[in-house]
Every structure is written in structure tokens, then in C-alpha cells.
Amino acid sequence: MLTDNYALIYVHIPFCAAKCNYCAFNSKISTAEERESYVDALITEIKSTPYPLPPTYSIYFGGGTPTILTLNQLKKIFAAIQTTFNVEKNSEITIEANPGTVDKNFLRGLREIGFNRLSLGVQSFNDELLKILGRIHNSTTALETVHTAKNFFDNISVDLMYGLPNQTLDDVKVDVETAAALDVQHISIYGLEVEPNTKFFQLNEVGRLNLPTENICADMYEFIIATLPKLGYNRYEVSNFAKVGRESRHNSGYWTGAKYFGFGAGAHSYNGKIRTSNVANVADYVKNIRAGRDVSQVEELVTKSAAMEEFCFLGLRMTAGIDAKIFYERFGENIFDVYGKVIEKNFKLGLLQVDGDKIFLTPRGFEVSNVVLADFLFD
Ligand code: SF4
């Protein structure tokens, strides 16, 4: 992938119909007026992106729930991107949606605007678990949404979660098998993390969150990684599975160190040297944009050694691993000179494999990936 010459585009829509009990994302319940002024601000921010503007092969509308906006609002934002950036033909253009926020006409409208990949936040097909999570949809709605979406999209991703309160290994089996039976192109499965400032965090503090034990979670994970490949979904990253050729180009770009422009409240950008983040509060974001003030601040100057660490740390999360040639092109150094000892040690332990220029984790390495990846950090 030509990550060095291209940039990814991310658009953040920080609004949801309701706040889920586990959610720590920058999202809130909003009024129609708030959404309208946010869209205006977003368009202003996109159109004032400073030059030079690299071409893009991936646009991603995430949130929040982007589909809480009207089709007209989404169309206006998309048009602003198209007039500002050179969007390659055949780009991957993704929008996240929640079952229950999109019907047939809406899905058709998304396709007409130009979205060609739909990422559905299903999380589970178990109604009890969906209630515990505080999701606004039930399993019937989720199934119907996928079936309807297939009339318009041939690239659909379903998000699932495991390690949920009251969830059993059998529940995970049903969820995984149900998602695969839908014959979508991509499945992401994330383990629940109990984050501060969430309802789950409060419940956990007072011992009222019945989480599965670490061993059960490990069994769930084992089941997931053993089963999905048998059902036609190759694991290409720790938590991501896809049919051949349907890996997410957007996420793969992040994992291989691509530059990215993030627009909207709390969105992050990276130009290859500096990482910036936008003001997260929606009202402040809109006020500052209206006043012509910069909404971004520098978060981190990415030094060469930090970029090398990240290249390995993120790249090794993917089953394809990292490429010594790309490392050299990017940093002007031979990866075996920089990380020779680390590579040799983990190779001897059977945790890393080297095949020509490719360096990747073995199945055993994946099991203890945190330990292996930590070796790639400079002291
Ligand atoms: S729909 Fe997603 S972003 Fe919105 S509250 Fe739920 S988890 Fe958070």
C-alpha cells in the first residue's frame, strides 16, 4: 500500500440517539439545531484544510452515529471532501451505522451519495445482552438491517463484542455463527474494556457488573480466532477478520503508519511528523470554527524512533506483519540493524517468523502479543 504518498480522511460525527452503557467515545445526545450547526462547522473545517493535500484512497465517517444526520447533511459533507481532496477512483468510502437508525430508503441514499462500505455496530444478536449494553436495537432489527443493506452494499462489516456482563461462551458461539451466516464481508470483534466515565464503570465499582472471568474471556477469544477462519473469515489483525480482499483499507492504513486528516470534534490528524487533535467539546468546536480560530492543537511530535516503534507495534498486530523494505524506505535504516536482537530473541522463542523481508507473529506470538510488541519499544 502506498501509505507514504496518500492520506486517510476521517470525519467524526459525535452524536448518538442514546448513550450506551459502556461507551467512552466522544458522542452525545443532540438537538437538530446542534447537528445542523455542527455540519456547517465541519464543512468549514474541511474546506480550510491547509495545503499540501495528498490524494486519498479512504474516507471514513465514524462516531458517534453518523447516520443520525440526514442524507442531505451527509451529502453536503461528502461534497466538501470531494471538492477539497483528490479522492481516487475506487476509494474505500465507509460509514458507520447502527441497526435501527437506517431503513431501506436511507441505505439507498447512502449508496447514492457515494458510500461503498457499511460498518454496522451490531455488538451482539442476543436481546438480553443488547439491553445490558444499552443499545437501541434488538437482534431482529440487526438482522433486518443487514439483509436490507445487502441490496445496496457489497462491502459490509459487522462489529461484535465479547467479554460482556452475563455473557457465556455459548452466547459468543451463537453471535459468531450468526454473523458469519449473514455472509458479510468483514467482522470485527472487540473485547469489552470497562472505561472510566461510563455506566459500566460505576456498576463495576460497586460490584454490580457480572463480568466473565479472564479464563472464560480467553476461551471466548480462542473460539473466535479458531472459528472465523473456518467460516471463511481470515484473521488479518488481532480483532479483525475478513473475506479475501475485503480487509479494511482504512484501518490497515492506520496500522501501517499512513498520514491521516481527522475532521470534527475530538478528531485526530497525523502528517507523518506531528499528531494533532481537535477540541473535543462540540459547542467549543463550533464556536471556534465560526470565529475562524484554529481548533487543533499539537499532541505529539513524532520522533524518528517513536515512528519506528509505532511502525513495528502497529504493523505486528496484523497477520501480514511488517516489511523490512518499507521500514528502510521510510526510515533509511535496516530493520535488522535496529531491531536485530529483538527479532532474533523472539524468533528463537518461536514467537516471530521471518520470511524474506516479511516479519510477522507466529500463532503463539499472537497469544502473547503484548509481551512481544513491548520488546520493540526503545527504553
Ligand atoms: S452507538 Fe456507539 S458511539 Fe454511540 S453511544 Fe453507543 S457505543 Fe457510543
State pLDDT tens for residues 60-84. 999 999 999 999 999 999 999 999 9
| Whether 193 and 323 share a structural domain | no
Q: Of ligand 1's atoms, which has the minimum distance to the CA of residue 98?
A: 1
pLDDT digit string, tens, across residues 223-259: 999 999 999 999 999 999 999 999 999 999 999 889 9
Q: Is the pLDDT of residue 28 over 80?
A: yes
Q: What per-residue confidence (pLDDT) applies to 3? A: 54
Looking at residue 52, what is its pLDDT? 81
Domain CATH number, residue 366 = 1.10.10.920
Q: How confident is the model at residue 288 (pLDDT cuts 50, 70, 90)?
A: very high
Domain total in the chain? 2
Q: Are residues 236 and 347 in the same domain?
A: no
Q: Is the pLDDT of residue 332 over 50?
A: yes
Residue 39 near residue 75, CB atoms below 8 Å:
no
Q: Is residue 244 part of a domain?
A: yes
Residues 190 and 316 in one domain: no
User: Among the three residues 196, 224, 255, which one is the final residue of a domain in this structure?
Assistant: 255
Sheet holding 7-13, edge to edge: 234-237, 240-242, 186-191, 156-162, 117-123, 87-97, 56-63, 7-13, 259-263, 268-270, 274-278, 296-301
Around ligand 1, the residues with Cβ closer than 6 Å are 16, 19-20, 23, 25, 27, 63-65, 98, 121
Give residue 2's pLDDT. 45
Half-sphere exposure of 210 (CA within 13 A, CB side): 5
Of 154, 141, 143, 224, nearest to 186 by C-alpha is 154
d(CA 260, CA 241): 23
CA of 25 relative to ligand 1 center, distance in Å: 7
pLDDT tens digits for range 31-70: 999 999 999 999 999 999 988 889 999 999 999 999 999 9
Indicate the top mutation candidate among 19, 95, 195 to test ligand 1's pocket, ranked by most ligand atoms within 8 A of CB: 19
The residue from 220, 255, 290 where one domain ends is 255
pTM for the model: 0.94
Residue 167 lies in a domain: yes
76 - beta bridge partners?
none
Residue of the CA atom closest to atom 3 of ligand 1: 64
Residues 328 and 215 occupy one common structural domain: no
- Write down which residue in 221, 255, 289 finishes a domain: 255
User: Which residue has a Cα nearest atom 8 of ligand 1?
Assistant: 23
Q: Which residue has the cell 466515565?
A: 197
Taking the centre of ligand 1 as the mean of its atom positions, its distance from the CA of residue 133, in whole angstroms, is 10
Q: Which residue has the cell 484554529?
A: 294
Report percent pLDDT > 70 for the chain: 99
Same domain, 211 and 308: no
Which residue is associated with the grid cell 443499545?
135
Contacts of 218 (CB under 8 A, 6+ apart): none
How many helices and strands, by DSSP H and E, does the chain display?
Answer: 15, 15
- Do residue 214 and residue 309 come from a single domain? no
Domain shared by 189 and 323, yes or no: no
Please indicate, yes or no, whether residues 308 and 236 belong to a single structural domain of this protein: no
Specify the CATH number for the domain of residue 197. Answer: 3.20.20.70
Q: Is the pLDDT of residue 144 over 80?
A: yes
Query: Domain check: are 225 and 310 in the same one?
Result: no
Residue 72 belongs to domain spanning:
7-255
Does one domain contain both 136 and 27? Answer: yes
Q: Report the nearest atom of ligand 1 relative to the CA of 24.
A: 8
Q: Say what percent of the chain tops pLDDT 90.
A: 93
Tell me what the pLDDT averaged over the chain comes to.
Answer: 95
The reply to whether 1 falls in a domain is no
Which mutation among 27, 120, 164 tests ligand 1's pocket best, with the greatest number of atoms within 8 A of CB? 27
Distance 121 CA to ligand 1 centre (A): 8
Residue 276 grid coordinates = 494533532
C-alpha cell at 338: 535496529
| CA 171 – ligand 1 centroid, Å | 22
pLDDT at 1: 46
